[in-house]
Structure 1
Amino acid sequence: MDSHALPHDEAPLVPAAPASEAAAAVAREPWHFHLPSLVELGPFLALVAACLFFALQSDRFFTAQNFALVAQQVMVVGLLAIGQTLIILTAGIDLSCGMVMALGGIVMTKLAVESGLPAPLAIACGLAVTTLFGIANGLLVTRIKLPSFIVTLGTMNIAFALTQLYSNSQTVTGLPDALTVLGNTFSLGGAEVSYGVLLMLALYFLAWLALRETAPGRHVYAVGNNSEAARLTGISVKTVLMGVYALAGLMYGVAALLSVARTGVGDPNAGQTENLDAITAVVLGGTSLFGGRGVILGSLIGAMIVGVFRNGLTLMGVSSIYQVLVTGILVILAVATDQLSRRGGR
């Protein structure tokens, strides 16, 4: 008898495929410490190799202040990459993250400057807007079952239009200090480190801990590995996906706050390249675009790889267009490596 003809309540009696077994194991078994594999170490080794290369090309590269500058330059994309990683781990993708971030930044700044709202309340409103966009994406993906690529392509354009309409395409200036405090710096080892960088690192640690040590985190991997197998083990796939998209939206709001703090203005034209930068960071960090495999800290390393390449090429006097070219090549190589590793594992 064809196994596909069996009713859903008999499906567990069918012998599980290897992917199903892996998903069930991810959902049920606790995490244990293990030495990282070469695949997991790949992004870190690539970052070290890039640093060594640029250190040989420029005396200014290997300084504490330059590394602090790179960290400040990637903190916004790094925050976007947290949300993007969660979505890609579930075999989805979010093209709207940059535009949603820009909308959140404009909401925060306009409410604080033009409407006179206290800064904490204005920030909360901005976070609420970006989270609502995440929830909307999740509803369209889970309830109507639209592909995440199409859904987020649509919401990207909606967010861009709303940003331009609400801001009248004008930059918001004269921000209160509370909106820019995360852009302030403190001295550490001869370098000026931004408070926003510390926030980014703290959120990465929390995300890593949640994905590694909690049941909901393991469910994210299980859904990305095989959503049907995850459902058969008792995981609510829709709940997991809704939670992932909502958390991603919240991360985009935090990224908006860091963007505002770093630039000191509410820029309606922000976020136009950050969506691709965030996807680039996730892919370079070793997270599979096919879902179910990856480490959140790898996305931080991926963001640093992009930042190091752009910083190093700038110090070498290379035109910015070549920096974009190199980034594109790195993405293709990372995706090709992921595809080859999947084929080798079969």
Structure 2
Amino acid sequence: MSQNIKKVYDKYGLFLILFLISSFFGILNNNFFSLYNIQNIFKQSSINGLLAFGMTFVILIGCIDLSVGSILALVGYFVGIMLVTFKLPIALVLPLGLILGVFLGSLNGVLVAKTKLQPFIATLVTMTIYRGITLIVSNGLPVRNINNVSTFMKYINRGEIINLPISMIVYLGVFAILWFLLGKTVFGKHLYATGGNEEAARLSTVSTNKIKIIAYSVSGFLSALAAILYAARYNSIYPNAGQGAELDAIAAVVIGGTSMSGGKGKILGTLIGALIIGILNNGLNLLGVSSFYQEVIKGVVILFAVIADRKKLGL
């Protein structure tokens, strides 16, 4: 009986948690299930979810990426300054921003794969460097009124299709692509193999260094895409944008069931995990809980998720 319960929980546990948390906040606050608030949750979840998707790729290979928030800030500032100050066309700025994200992510991959630095140390260094560059080029000042100079950015923020925000549609579209990439392609199999047993994967002709660089490049690309959604939503970019975003991204990944040891996990779990984090943030804000306490709560959630992961592995 206990084994059957465990199988059911492993399959549907995340959906049960999502239902219980939503019900809890819905009972305590009548505005929680309003259309406006649900759209707000979707918009916030799409930004964190994109970062978490990239983090999933990196964690699946047994690594970590602490620089996602700094990449968001740097790419966001680049996009903002190109649009507001230099008046460049959006059709040029957005591709350049995405390319910049890929470049920054690939630098992380090269540091990890080629110099053999520990992923934690390598991305801690780049997190600091990328944030420092943002502060230097911005002189500590924000870029404002981004949507005022770009109708496309305004549309990303306010546009809807069947009551779904554009950011959420982009988010679900990316999810579908990544789901196919991880589950239906040779690259996905090589990614899981690298995280499960890197030496065995290498001996079976998998180019593990290449897989690592690609995984970090994907993380950089998705961080850049999140930066575009962030800039559109808040109509500005501050140099400290995305500070601490890596915590929410990691939380979404581990809550979603991806093993911190690598090799095990699904992108669907991350999708639900990001939604759970979004609901937690939104619900606690509606209840007037201090942001200081919210950080503690998220830290505790990550702790329990990691402990559960270790128990699954028998550690």
TM-score greater than 0.5 by the shorter chain: yes
Question: Which residue of the partner structure matches residue 181 of structure 1?
Answer: 155
Residue 91 of structure 2 aligns with an amino acid whose one-letter code is P
Question: Which residue of the partner structure matches residue 49 of structure 2?
Answer: 78
Query: What runs of 5+ residues in structure 1 fail to find an aligned partner?
Result: 1-35
Higher Cα radius of gyration: 1
Question: How far apart are 1:187 and its partner, in Å?
Answer: 6.4
Q: Residue 84 of structure 1 contacts residue 248 of structure 1 at CA under 8 Å; is this kept in 2?
A: yes
CA distance 1:214–1:187, shift in 2 (3 Å): closer
Instruction: Give the alignment partner of residue 251 of structure 1, picking from 213, 222, 229.
Output: 222
Question: Which residue of the partner structure matches residue 231 of structure 2?
Answer: 260
Question: Which residue of the partner structure matches residue 69 of structure 1?
Answer: 40
1:140 aligns with 2:114: no
Whole-Å separation in 1 of the counterparts to 2:87 and 2:135: 21
Q: Residue 55 of structure 1 contacts residue 62 of structure 1 at CA under 8 Å; is this kept in 2?
A: yes
Instruction: Give the alignment partner of residue 330 of structure 1, picking from 298, 301, 306.
Output: 301
Per-residue CA shift, 1:61-102, capped at 9, x if unaligned?
Answer: 233332221111221111111110000000000000000110
Instruction: Give the alignment partner of residue 95 of structure 2, picking from 105, 117, 124.
Output: 124
1:286 aligns with 2:257: yes
Question: How far apart are 1:332 and its partner, in Å?
Answer: 0.7
Question: Which residue of the partner structure matches residue 6 of structure 1?
Answer: none
Q: Report the secondary structure of 1:53's partner residue.
A: helix
Query: How much identity, in percent, do the aligned residues show?
Result: 38
Question: Which residue of the partner structure matches residue 107 of structure 1?
Answer: 78
Query: What runs of 5+ residues in structure 2 fail to find an aligned partner?
Result: 1-6
Question: Which residue of the partner structure matches residue 128 of structure 2?
Answer: 157
Aligned ranges for residues 231-246 of structure 1 at < 5 Å? 231-246=202-217
Deviation larger for 93-102 or 313-322? 313-322
Deviation larger for 99-108 or 57-66? 57-66
Question: Which residue of the partner structure matches residue 4 of structure 2?
Answer: none
- The aligned length equals 306
Question: Which residue of the partner structure matches residue 203 of structure 1?
Answer: 174
Q: Residue 95 of structure 1 contacts residue 153 of structure 1 at CA under 8 Å; is this kept in 2?
A: yes
Question: Which residue of the partner structure matches residue 138 of structure 2?
Answer: 167
Question: Which residue of the partner structure matches residue 319 of structure 1?
Answer: 290
Residue 155 of structure 2 aligns with an amino acid whose one-letter code is V
Q: What TM-score results when the alignment is normalised by the length of structure 2?
A: 0.92
Whole-Å separation in 1 of the counterparts to 2:159 and 2:82: 25
Per-residue CA shift, 1:281-333, capped at 9, x if unaligned?
Answer: 11111111100011111111111111111222222333332222221111111
Residue 300 of structure 1 aligns with an amino acid whose one-letter code is L
Residue 256 of structure 1 aligns with an amino acid whose one-letter code is A
Whole-Å separation in 2 of the counterparts to 1:226 and 1:83: 21
Residue 274 of structure 1 aligns with an amino acid whose one-letter code is A
Question: How far apart are 1:254 and its partner, in Å?
Answer: 0.4
Whole-Å separation in 2 of the counterparts to 1:322 and 1:40: 31
Q: Residue 107 of structure 1 contacts residue 125 of structure 1 at CA under 8 Å; is this kept in 2?
A: no
Per-residue CA shift, 1:30-72, capped at 9, x if unaligned?
Answer: xxxxxx8632433222111111222222222233332221111
Whole-Å separation in 1 of the counterparts to 2:284 and 2:235: 26
Whole-Å separation in 1 of the counterparts to 2:240 and 2:197: 38
Residue 157 of structure 2 aligns with an amino acid whose one-letter code is G
Question: How far apart are 1:124 and its partner, in Å?
Answer: 1.9
Whole-Å separation in 1 of the counterparts to 2:161 and 2:104: 37
Q: Residue 47 of structure 1 contacts residue 301 of structure 1 at CA under 8 Å; is this kept in 2?
A: yes
Q: Report the secondary structure of 2:164's partner residue.
A: strand
Whole-Å separation in 2 of the counterparts to 1:51 and 1:329: 19
Question: Which residue of the partner structure matches residue 18 of structure 2?
Answer: 47
Whole-Å separation in 2 of the counterparts to 1:238 and 1:115: 38
